Structure 1
Amino acid sequence: MLPFIQTAYLFALGSMIGWVLEFFYRKFFDPVNVERKWLNPGFLTGPYLPLYGFALLLLFWLRQIERFIPIDDNYTRKAVLFVIMAACITVLEYFTGLIFIVKLKIMLWDYTQFWGNIKGIICPMYSFFWLLLSFGYCFFLDPPITHTVELLIKNLQFTFFVGLYYGVFFIDLAISINNIVNIAEFAREHNIIVKIDELRAQIESFREKTRGGVAHFFIPLRFSDTLHNSLERYREFREKLSVGNIRENIKGNIDKIKRK
């Protein structure tokens, strides 16, 4: 029972910490968010990103293996640990993104604009961020998190709040999964990859144009009229974008030929 409570708590904590990190990153540093809008990261409504929940579990468990790394020098051993942590989270990120793309034809995040990316799912820059996160976890977050885990185990009455969190989380998850399933069916029918961030931007743009409304921060995938119509507009947007890219490539090739 206790390992389950520990795991549930760490997943919840990691999901919320990750949401906060992504929230501020997208506002101030994300090169895609040129307008510097406040964006609700992820496809869920509430302040949680499950990927970071799994990432924190990995960091917590991997932290325990440091003593088994056969390196005497403390700094070198920690450096190796950070690399292992970053590599494991990158692998987690890759397979999570790949499953959504292959099985559901949905792209939860898009790194195609970054150098060295693999299928737009992982890239060196974000792997470096995972390395920094591993460093920050070991030196700043691990002691207080370990302490709160021990406190939770010794005072099981606090598990009420963990249960409350999951009550809200699973309701949110059920609603979001319903949207994801419908989006996946549309994507398979039209043989396209739906990029969640692009879809959200399309929904927001249409709402502002037709109703003069503002974006729903806590409901990022709240459709302005119907799901089908929103997806049809997105499909048309993708088709126009593809045609534009083809024209740009043709023009670029013609220019190269002329220069020769």
Structure 2
Amino acid sequence: MTHLNFSTDFYHILWFFIIYCFLGWVWESSFCSIKAKKLINRGFLIGPYIPIYGCGALVVYLTLYPLRDQLLLVYIGGVIFPTILEFVTSWVMEKVFAATWWDYSNEKFNIQGRICLKVSLFWGFFSVAMVEIFHPLVLMLIDKIPRHTGEIAGGIFVVVFSADFAHTVVATLDIKKTLAKMENVRADIFQFLEVHNLGAEYKELSPSRMLNYLKEQWEERKEYLENIPVAGTISEYKEELEEKLSALVKRYEGNKPKRRRARVLQRHVKAYPKLKSTKYSVSLDEMKKRLEKLRKEK
């Protein structure tokens, strides 16, 4: 086929990014929805775009489009460059947000669950299809848009995208801080129960169930507790324990993201069912349960 010009001016680069971000969102949302048999709005951000696809497409375009007459090189580069981008993106997001957003651990030939051979090979085929089929069509579409209209629309996108990105990043970092606070209180609860020799089974419980657990442990260890030299009666000691634990549990449950932050987390969980916290897994699971409970109560 006849190849079109290699455009690298800011206007075209911006529109390449916009279109491929959108196409990536369409692809991911459709694929994941079909796989899960329910509608899934894929993506880290709120809008219908996934930046990693836009960045990946630009990398392929800028490095491989000039080699479009050598499809083997395009394929090899298409395997390598997007795979590096996917690995780096996964690593950065994990370090910044203390969470993993996708996981290829169950796939053969994966590296740290961040990348895998099957997906990397797909990137190669996508790159060939991009330079041979999609990109010439994308370029023709962009050139059909009146330049002035395209500049205004592109400017609006930059503003909306920047606001979306800033809001989502700040909200996700706020959620991370909330999870850290929950983990700190949880550690205080563990220390409290250990100091009072109330067993190790609590580590499998959510803090909201720990008061009931304390009462059960009290009945089982009543004879032991009667021999502890404390001021006042045994019942007073029991009440004191319950009061202290109740205060800790309230501190734990009081750590929750604001409504807007909760919506961001809820969307993250829906978009990335395999979302896991690398530092605060128990508290994240607890927060997921709270959000699900609130959703059902509406």
Counterpart position of 2:239: none
Q: Which amino acid aligns with 2:155?
A: G
Which structure's CA Rg is the greater one? 2
Q: SS where residue 64 of structure 1 aligns?
A: helix
8 Å contact kept, 2:67–2:74: yes
Considering only aligned residues, what root-mean-square deviation do their CA atoms show, in Å? 3.1
Q: SS where residue 13 of structure 1 aligns?
A: helix
Q: Which amino acid aligns with 2:78?
A: M
Matches for 1:198-213 after TM superposition, within 5 Å: none
Report deviation, 1:86: 2.1
Matched, 1:176 2:168: yes
1:64-110 deviation line (CA, Å, top 9, x unaligned) = 3317xxxxxx6xx2122111122100001101111111343121222
Mean Cα deviation higher: 106-115 or 91-100: 106-115
Output the CA distance in 2 between the equivalents of 1:3 and 1:38: 37
1:190-216 deviation line (CA, Å, top 9, x unaligned) = 49xxxxxxxxxxxxxxxxxxxxxxxx8
Q: SS where residue 101 of structure 1 aligns?
A: helix
Counterpart position of 1:106: 99
Output the CA distance in 1 between the equivalents of 2:47 and 2:109: 32
8 Å contact kept, 1:59–1:134: yes
1:31-64 deviation line (CA, Å, top 9, x unaligned) = xx3xx22111122111110000101111221233
Mean Cα deviation higher: 108-117 or 14-23: 108-117
Query: Which of 136, 150, 154 pairs up with 1:162?
Result: 154
- In structure 2, relative to structure 1, the CA distance for the partners of 1:185 and 1:179 (3 Å cut) is same
Q: SS where residue 9 of structure 2 aligns?
A: helix
8 Å contact kept, 1:58–1:85: no
- Where do 5+ consecutive residues of structure 1 fail to align? 68-73, 192-215, 224-230, 239-260
Matches for 1:128-143 after TM superposition, within 5 Å: 128-143=121-136
Q: How many percent of aligned residue pairs carry the same amino acid?
A: 23
8 Å contact kept, 2:78–2:128: no
Taking structure 2 as the reference length, the TM-score comes to 0.56
Output the CA distance in 1 between the equivalents of 2:28 and 2:151: 27
> Which 4+ stretches in 1 moved above 4 angstroms?
149-152, 186-191, 235-238
Taking structure 1 as the reference length, the TM-score comes to 0.64
Matched, 1:220 2:213: no
Q: How many residues align?
A: 192
- In structure 2, relative to structure 1, the CA distance for the partners of 1:222 and 1:170 (3 Å cut) is farther
